[in-house]
Amino acid sequence: GFTETTDISEMADLGIPLVVDIGSGLIDSACPWLENGPPKWLIGEPAARQSLESGAEIVTFSGDKLFGGPQAGIIAGKTELVELCAQHPLARAVRPGSLTMSALQEITISYLERKGSSIPFWEMSTTSVDELKERADKISAKFTTETNATPGGGTLPGVEIPSAGLKLAGDHVEFFRQQNPPIICRIDNDQTVIDLMTVHPSDDIFIDAAIKKIH
């Protein structure tokens, strides 16, 4: 495992081209696209802008995960170095298609216009627990529960986001999966948990209908 982490600025002082892979796709630790700034669970996550300001000449990250777009790899940084990457023989083989480029463009415009709420990941992950509990109560108050959501091991390993949803006794995962549309849930201590953070409010009616089939 890791025993020590070197600061980007220290590496930059060596005077050689520095490439930093931040992985997750957080583009700015200040989160200017969010009205209330960065959430607490995001503190300490490396970001593209700050990495470049610290001396990195190239930063690579995912187009999905915290960036919130389609699955892709993004190379950002000094123009002349990015252009060199684009000239590499492999660039043509791994270049994204038009659909991926279109989706990346839409997400990027949302960031530029400071419309974080229009990006599904940020809309979901910044929803308050009280709002989620209110939705759960409307579906079935007797099953309302507080829980924790995880953004993913490859993005923020070990980090949990306070959330809320519904908890039913027993294993009903297969039942919910067979609904139309399928409802994806998880098992926690022999209980079925539906985390509403990952459910759009317009889909609550499907969860309500499915629960009524059981109870």
On the question of a cis peptide bond just before residue 70, with omega within 30 degrees of 0, the verdict is no
Please report whether residue 1 resides in a domain: no
Residues 107 and 162 grouped into a single domain: no
Please report whether residue 2 resides in a domain: no
User: In CATH, what number is assigned to the domain containing residue 162?
Assistant: 3.90.1150.180
Residues 42 and 55 grouped into a single domain: yes
Residues 13 and 60 grouped into a single domain: yes
- Domain count for the chain: 2
Please report whether residue 3 resides in a domain: no
The amino acid sitting at 5 is T
Range of the domain at 20: 8-123
CB 27 within 8 A of CB 49: yes
Q: What pTM, to 2 d.p., does this model score?
A: 0.84
> What tokens appear for 171 in the block?
């294993």
**Considering 87, 107, 123, which residue would you say is the last residue of a domain?**
123
CA–CA gap between residue 178 and residue 192 (Å, rounded): 15
**Tell me: the pLDDT tens digits for 82-121?**
999 999 999 999 999 999 999 999 999 999 999 988 899 9
**Tell me: the pLDDT tens digits for 114-169?**
998 889 999 999 999 999 999 999 999 999 999 998 876 666 667 889 999 999 99
